Amino acid sequence: MNLRAAPRAAYRRAPWVFSLGAGLAAWEAVGILRPGLPIPPPSAVLVALVELVREGYLAEHAGRTALHLVAGLALALAAGLGVGVLMGRSRRAEYFLDLYLNLFLAAPMAALVPIMILVFGLRPSGIVATVFLFTFFGVAVNTYTGVRDANPRLVEMARSFGAGEGMLLRRVILPGALPLILGGVRQAVGRAFNGVILGEMLISTVGMGGLLMQFGGQFRIDLVLALLVVVVGTSALAVGAVERLERRVHLWLGGAD
């Protein structure tokens, strides 16, 4: 009985595992039945991934990509939080900056990469700026929305007890805006991976993006897919970590209420 119930329990906890397994099995079957297809099966991608690890490609290039990503994301989070709080607490800042945030949030960021090349040249700073460009606006808008929509009753109550602007932000506004802020952070983490790979492919051809360009030019589709597995898998793990933090924050806020 327990043996029958185990697969159902596993499916309820992680249905994506079964979906991914079915998709990989179908992909492998097609690759075996049609060996002439240009897209290699998962077994060939796994062999290519082992080759990348054994030859030291990942150890050499993944660290550089991580450095670009962390630098650009950290700058975007700090600036986005600051601008979002400023807009949420200042009408003048809101009127002045809201138009630009909405314009850039809707703009195709990939089309702005050539501008990064003109400004920063073919240097790593251009890649960091590209990551910043991909992530800043979402964080700023989410923070601004969360701060603006703070519970007015709690704000008035805190003011009645003599809370200044600093204490009001720390004790009332930012805790209430935290779920929206973390939502912006989650989106920024996913977009940061897009920005760093695009920047490395188009600006300086270094890191994981440079490897994708190199292997793509050699038509080594198996190596390209193996690199994508690493990049997408790392991105999914990072986004999942922020999602777990979001759930804990929601539980904490629910308990506080």
- Within a domain: residue 22? no
More confident residue, 205 or 169: 205
Q: What is the pLDDT of residue 257?
A: 52
Give the per-residue SS3 of 133-190. HHHHHHHHHHHHHHHHCCCHHHHHHHHHCCCCHHHHHHHHHHHHHHHHHHHHHHHHHH
Are 90 and 79 in contact by the 8 Å Cβ rule? The answer is: no
pLDDT tens per residue, range 32-75: 777 777 788 888 889 889 988 888 888 888 888 999 999 999 99
How many domains does one find in the chain?
1
Task: Give dist(CA 18, CA 10) in Å, integer.
Answer: 9
What CATH number is associated with residue 191?
A: 1.10.3720.10
pLDDT tens per residue, range 231-254: 999 999 999 899 888 888 777 766
- Residue from 24, 198, 26, 40 nearest 49 by CA: 40
The dihedral through the CA atoms of 63, 66, 72, 75 has a sign that is: negative
Tracing tokens 């906890």 back to the chain, one arrives at 13
The domain containing residue 82 runs over which residues? Answer: 44-256
Task: Give dist(CA 197, CA 203) in Å, integer.
Answer: 10
List C-alpha distances in Å: 40 to 30, 83, 230: 10, 46, 16
Average pLDDT over residues 5-34: 70
Task: Give dist(CA 249, CA 140) in Å, integer.
Answer: 20
- Within a domain: residue 20? no
- Within a domain: residue 2? no
List C-alpha distances in Å: 29 to 22, 33, 47, 228: 11, 6, 17, 21
Q: What is the pLDDT of residue 1?
A: 44
Contacts of 138 (CB under 8 A, 6+ apart): 80, 105, 184, 187, 188, 191
Structure tokens at 147: 């701060």
More confident residue, 218 or 5: 218
pLDDT tens per residue, range 200-231: 888 878 888 988 998 888 888 889 999 999 99
Structure tokens at 109: 């960021």
- Within a domain: residue 89? yes
pLDDT tens per residue, range 93-149: 888 888 888 888 888 888 888 888 888 887 888 899 999 999 999 899 999 988 888
Confidence of residue 185 (pLDDT cuts 50, 70, 90): very high
